[in-house]
Structure 1
Amino acid sequence: MLTVTNLIKKYGKQNAVDDISFQLEGGEVVGLLGPNGAGKSTTMKCIVGLLRKTSGEVTIGGYDHLSVEAKRFFSYIPETPYVYDLLTVKEHMQFIAQAYGVTEWQVKAKELLELFELDDKQNKLGRDLSKGMRQKVSICCALLPDPQLLFFDEPMIGLDPKAIKNTKQVFKQLKEAGKTILVSTHLIDSVELIADRVMILKDGRIIGNDTIFNLKQQALQGQGSSLEDLFLEMTKDE
């Protein structure tokens, strides 16, 4: 579903993403973890085409990641939600439905807006939404086209506890539906429950890419240790 080969992103002489390669198979849920500045958001933005990569290859569904064919496969939920100031919440959903050719979108949109408690905010303009509400709109818009591949970059930031719980439930439902997910988050416990494997980034490099069980074995940590313990051990400064 996703193949990243020798991806490099430079800022000046600094490698923000330093020659990384990985694959996501269909139906796989992968957590992307790393300390601040590790290159998680930069990696995602290069994959979805918001940043121009310095070198390397990225394919989605067998297509170059910048092609229209590839863009039909995925949705991206950014760390900072972007909404249109002069579109209402409902018009955001209609815009996405028309852009992706989603028929009979109103039923799915209604379910999503109710799930994230936006049904009474349908006629509110984007410029009048709080950051948390913008994030909810962003998630609803991403889920509406029913994509095969989803990129979540810190999806929980700005959400209230109930919305975080609902988002975790959405992850579970997407996993059960066989969707492929790459999720970057600092809420490690939310990844531990659903991820088939995790990738750990440090200084733009992948320092771990395996199931949580295997990574614990490699780090010689017992079964009583958490993913958070493993993460802190692997990313600590020498």
Structure 2
Amino acid sequence: MTDAVVVTDIRKSYGDLNAVDGVSFTVAEGEFFGILGPNGAGKTTTLEIVEGLREPDSGTVELLGVNPWPRNPELLPRVGVQLQASSFFERLTAREQLETFGSLYGVGTAKAGEMLELVGLTDKADVQENKLSGGQRQRLSIACALVHDPDVVFLDEPTAALDPQARRNLWDVLRAIQARGKTIVYTTHYLDEAEILCDRVAIMDRGKVLALDSPAALVRGLDAPTRILLQPGALPLDTARELEGVDTAAEDEVSLTISTRKPARVLSTLAERGTLDGLQVRTATLEDVFLDHTGREYRA
């Protein structure tokens, strides 16, 4: 596959702060690529360099085969960008917003209706932007980034501050965008979302890429134990610890938790003892991979 984005050893510093410290990755055409990391990891700065909004101190970027910096007018129609903070024209309806954004790229007004349908806002076409809900404004922002039919779409935390229903709705929109053959590069703090949507993810911290692969491959590489949760009192704690295949067992007022790297054996034993009622099995997730690489301390 052809690479839509090629990033090679880019660096960006602000005084003593190395915001981006030797980042390299590629994104194939049609790929859904996620950049994950805690606050201050360098995600947004990396994205802005790739988009051509910032100049790197060193390193190179190729976006659709072209260096995005300095700004290349010929490249702009092929790229769509949705920033963390969305800005719209005042007093315009959803349709008028799209028609205005489209006119900047020479796109006819008919495209606005198509984009409204794509993001599920057809019934809000004549509603002013400031009267839309948060989720509707996010979808409108993405539609504005897509109205000129770009080849690569950059989304910076598109589902931030949305309620669960609005987030799920936006997932469908993002899947529909990729189904059109578009390349998507996005950042998010929602690891469950990245695990479902992304073909590959890069985990960043302190300006560096710490891991890069498909979510499934990263989870497999963690070699984390499976956790089996039973109702409190389902088994005496000492008995649980002595079961074949059990690594550790602990109990609190919520559950009896068994950790094991041989879940089939442990589950078979629990079935023989008739203790499967209310049982839950939890395998490692992308969140476990993320915390393993970046640590668990809180960062403002």
Shorter-chain TM-score tier: 0.7 to 0.9
TM-score (norm: length of structure 1): 0.87
Residues 196-207 of structure 1 aligned to structure 2 (within 5 Å): 196-207=199-210
Residue 73 in structure 1 maps to residue 113 in structure 2:
no
Give the 3 Å change call, closer, same or farther, for CA 174–131 of structure 1 in structure 2: closer
RMSD over aligned Cα atoms? 2.4
Distance 2:16 2:94 in 1: 42
Q: Which region of structure 1 is more displaced relative to structure 2, 15-24 or 69-78?
A: 69-78
Greater helix fraction, Structure 1 or Structure 2: 1
Distance 2:114 2:223 in 1: 46
AA paired with 1:176? A
Alignment match, 2:124: 120
SS at 1:46's partner residue?
A: helix
Residue 154 in structure 1 maps to residue 213 in structure 2:
no
Structure 2: gaps spanning 5 or more residues = 227-282
Residues 74-153 of structure 1 aligned to structure 2 (within 5 Å): 74-103=79-108, 104-112=110-118, 115-116=120-121, 119-120=123-124, 122-124=126-128, 132-153=135-156
* Cα pair 2:36 2:201 within 8 Å, conserved: yes
Distance 2:225 2:216 in 1: 9
Q: Between Structure 1 and Structure 2, whose CA radius of gyration is higher?
A: 2
* Cα pair 2:201 2:214 within 8 Å, conserved: yes
AA paired with 2:185? L
Residue 59 in structure 1 maps to residue 62 in structure 2:
yes
TM-score (norm: length of structure 2): 0.71
How far is the alpha carbon of 1:36 from its aligned partner? 0.8
Q: Of the candidates 3, 21, 25, which is equivalent to residue 22 of structure 1? A: 25
Give the 3 Å change call, closer, same or farther, for CA 12–85 of structure 1 in structure 2: farther
Alignment match, 2:290: 231
Distance 2:183 2:82 in 1: 14
Give the 3 Å change call, closer, same or farther, for CA 134–171 of structure 1 in structure 2: closer
- 1:108-148 CA distances to partner (integer Å, 9 max, x unpaired)? 134146x14x7436352x56666555433211211222222
Distance 2:214 2:46 in 1: 20
Distance 2:72 2:166 in 1: 33
Distance 2:114 2:289 in 1: 39
Give the 3 Å change call, closer, same or farther, for CA 42–146 of structure 1 in structure 2: same
Distance 1:136 1:196 in 2: 22
- 1:25-83 CA distances to partner (integer Å, 9 max, x unpaired)? 10111111111110111111122133332222212111121312222222111111122
Distance 2:135 2:193 in 1: 18
Residues 33-44 of structure 1 aligned to structure 2 (within 5 Å): 33-44=36-47
Count of aligned pairs: 235
Residues 152-231 of structure 1 aligned to structure 2 (within 5 Å): 152-221=155-224, 224-231=283-290
* Cα pair 1:31 1:183 within 8 Å, conserved: yes
With CA pairs under 8 Å and 6+ residues apart, which has the higher RCO, 1 or 2?
Answer: 1
Distance 1:170 1:163 in 2: 11
Distance 1:110 1:136 in 2: 9
Determine what percentage of the aligned residue pairs are the same residue: 36
Give the 3 Å change call, closer, same or farther, for CA 53–119 of structure 1 in structure 2: farther
* Cα pair 1:60 1:73 within 8 Å, conserved: no
Structure 1: gaps spanning 5 or more residues = none
